[in-house]
Chain A
């Protein structure tokens, strides 16, 4: 066990932090605009805490999605200082508070209100890659056997929380709304490389289309944006390789 002596701890100090937030109220605003709000925050506070404070104490009409508050549900993906992140996983101490912190909706999906976008196109792409186990033959009475190595092969993709940080950071996705986008390809990868699955050929055919995996330009934005640390670009490359060599 490590030493347990308490280092003297200075009481944390709240500082005023200014946020520059994208506002758009479809019933009242002709176009989006920016508004600034200043709230006192501790270094360990999350950006989500700030948004809750602004909504609760300054302007109740500020609209954003959130649920779990600790990076598991994927509701609060937004563009914070130009980078896609989860508001509940972005701490004030990791931002430069000498300037206003900009908060915008994720890009590439239709804007609904303030920080809320229409998620349906994102989920439609996910659904279209057959993101479920496909098996043939008789169902065993007990569990299917799978070695720890085979299980580890597709572990990375199972971490995905469908927050859309990766897909909406992709420059190809911004300009081509037919492209499946990184998250859908990660979901396909997760099943293609699952030793229990026999639907790889079908999924690869879907991703072999013009708007499929070949649209990826390997910019690595998706990998940088993933709040779950998934190697998204690598997952896409694996699917490309599987298409070329038909080995998976």
Chain B
């Protein structure tokens, strides 16, 4: 075992983690731990753009952006946080440009902007050009640019270091951050990292579902680690299903395709979004578009041999426009479905995409341990965090914005905290929990296989906890997941080595996924309303009287050692926008 000491440890090297590192490493001794290599992070898969009211191509301002974000989030957004994000968006984009990001340009040489779902002029009048973009690989360019600037700034990375525990030391004022414990994939060695500040920036957990745009490695580790250490997770029932995944595969096709003029059509060729969102049609927010697509299929208007998808139609757009502005998704359709978007309709269907919920933080990215108290030295940013700027449904492009605005804030806040305090003593037997977790799996002789349990979890979640939910389907999912958790106790791995034991790593990941699947379902069962990405067929309306509040899910361990999820609630911060009916 090795022990390292830093001022700030950042867990995760995607957009949020590296944006934080650029700030933190200027001010304090910083290490970035990632279970991958930095450039493998899933920020790189983001395509369409990053919104900021630059007003480079038409009139716009950050207040309109704030309103759209709040309305798009179905009034579960904390409005102070949304205001911060949309105000700081402008500098966030300009900072990236100065770091070298190759944005597409207007004829005047300014950063070009395009339309995106739910982003409107003057509180919903019409779609507005707000998304700054680099073809359809904006996330890729953000990830590369941040990594390049980390190289420039000599940021210290620990690649393929998988963080499995958060160290908190109990004090009279409650728990205080002491560091993290990590498993080095190359050697199997356990490393304790002492730190005054820890930032979690570990991304999402889309692998709970079978059909997902997410990477194999998006298994919610950071959220899982925090949850197991007694930190609540907020709004876990709110998960976004992106409308345009390649049918049957889930591979993402950017909403920017509709921003460029693409149209969704059902089997008979009808532009069905005109019926569901008469004003902005195909550029309605993602939750509405996904529900509309599912309804089209359910009502028999789906396309294909099994009538189980709809079409994304780009064929009316000039070939040059498609190839210049949407080259990557064009290639995905050609490679994986053998369909050429220039001349053919592309089969699409919703795909599990983004967690609105996560580790609760305030607008300074400090992690909350309940509705009032922060844990000194603990920060979170990006998809793993819930500030909450996305509420019940995130608008397209706001995730790339979130990682840059709150990643930056986390880096500054963590470094400033580290400058003010000393290291606390490590808790007793700091690596003990991690060693026990690893050894239990390594020595297990049980008969369950990781891949089989994962597949069963994903199948029940796709079937029962997807775009539409009912009490019956959620109860089914809950029973299934709890049974899988029981079976997980006898999961065994075949790789008995210590070097690059990905078999072991996947078994640990599955443990986190099962915890998170249960949290999604339990939160969804108790939220007896429909809001944003959470659509209950048995409670089709939004219920602001009883449910305009955040869910806070705690891990409760009873005296008998049995663990259970305990739900509590937290009020939504409302500043200037009272809830109103959400029409587009």
Contacts and interface: CB of A to CB of B under 8 A. Distances in A.
B500 A116 contact: yes
B98 interface: yes
Interface in A25-39: 25-28
A145 B108 contact: yes
A150 B56 CA distance: 19
A64 B9 CA distance: 27
Interface of A: 1-2, 4, 6, 9, 25-28, 44, 52, 55-57, 59-61, 63-75, 89, 91, 112-114, 116, 119, 123, 127, 130-133, 135, 139, 142-148, 151, 154-155, 158-162, 191, 194, 196-197
A242 B315 CA distance: 41
Contacts of A133: 98-100, 148
Given A57-B449, A91-B336, 12 more contacts: A61-B494, A63-B500, A68-B45, A73-B36, A73-B215, A119-B37, A135-B98, A155-B102, A158-B144, A159-B140, A191-B100, A196-B100
B202 to A, nearest CB: 13
B44 A161 contact: yes
Interface in B350-370: none
B573 to A, nearest CB: 32
Nearest to B101: A133
B304 A68 contact: no
A147 B40 contact: no
A1 B152 contact: no
B316 interface: yes
Interface string B334-349: 0111100001110000
A136 B149 CA distance: 16
Nearest to B94: A143
Complex A-B, nearest 3 residue pairs according to Cβ-Cβ distance, in ascending order: A56-B451, A133-B100, A60-B494
Contact of A161 (B39, B97, B304): B39
Given A69-B216, A145-B110, A146-B105, A6 B303 contact: yes
A170 B336 CA distance: 28
B17 to A, nearest CB: 15
Contact of B45 (A64, A73, A196): A73
A147 B451 contact: no
Contacts of A6: 303-305
B303 A4 contact: yes
Nearest to B307: A6
Contacts of A55: 451, 502-503
A114 B108 CA distance: 52
B44 A63 contact: no
Given A1-B315, A61-B503, A127 B37 contact: no
A72 B109 contact: no
B61 to A, nearest CB: 16
Contact of A67 (B105, B107, B135, B217): B217
B242 interface: no
Contact of B498 (A27, A69, A73, A74): A27
A113 B313 CA distance: 45
Contact of A144 (B98, B148, B265): B98
B105 A60 contact: no
A144 B98 CA distance: 7
Contact of B102 (A26, A64, A194): A194
B134 A73 contact: no
Q: Is the interface of B mostly helix, strand, loop or mixed?
A: loop
Contacts of B548: none
B500 A60 contact: no
B111 interface: yes
B438 interface: no
A155 B105 CA distance: 12
Contacts of A158: 102, 134, 137, 141, 144
B481 to A, nearest CB: 19
Contacts of A119: 37
A137 to B, nearest CB: 12
Nearest to A159: B137
B104 interface: yes
Given A1-B265, A28-B497, A89-B335, A154 B102 contact: yes
B41 interface: yes
B495 interface: yes
Nearest to B39: A162
Contact of B499 (A26, A60, A148): A26
B503 A57 contact: no
Contact of B332 (A44, A70, A91, A151): A70
A135 B134 CA distance: 21
B186 A112 contact: yes
Contacts of A9: 305
Interface in B41-72: 41-42, 44-45
A72 B316 CA distance: 27
B269 interface: yes
Kindly name the residue among A2, A9, A66, A70 whose own CB sees the greatest number of chain B CB atoms within 10 A: A70
A46 to B, nearest CB: 8
Contacts of A155: 102, 135
Contacts of B495: 60-61, 63
B269 A143 contact: no
21 contacts: A9-B305, A25-B497, A52-B216, A56-B452, A59-B494, A61-B503, A64-B502, A67-B215, A69-B215, A70-B336, A72-B140, A113-B500, A132-B148, A132-B149, A133-B148, A144-B97, A148-B107, A151-B103, A159-B137, A194-B102, A197-B100
A90 to B, nearest CB: 10
A147 B109 contact: yes
User: Of A73, A116, A154, which is in contact with the most chain B CB atoms at under 10 Å from its CB?
Assistant: A73
A67 B36 contact: yes
A155 B338 CA distance: 26
Interface in B107-147: 107-111, 134-135, 137, 140-141, 144
Interface string B179-197: 0000000100000000000
Contact of A151 (B36, B105, B452): B105
B493 interface: yes
Nearest to B316: A1
B375 interface: no
A159 to B, nearest CB: 7
B217 A2 contact: no
Nearest to B132: A143
A27 B187 CA distance: 11
A65 B41 CA distance: 13
Contacts of A143: 93-94, 97-98, 103, 110-111
Question: Among A60, A112, A146, A147, which residue has the most Cβ atoms of chain B within 10 A?
Answer: A60
A52 to B, nearest CB: 8
B96 to A, nearest CB: 9
A91 B331 CA distance: 14
B151 A131 contact: yes
B503 A127 contact: no
B267 interface: yes
A136 to B, nearest CB: 13
B469 to A, nearest CB: 26
B450 interface: yes
Contact of A73 (B40, B137, B186, B338): B40
Contact of B497 (A61, A74, A75): A61
B251 interface: yes
A34 B315 CA distance: 47
B216 A67 contact: yes
A67 B42 CA distance: 8
A73 B328 CA distance: 13
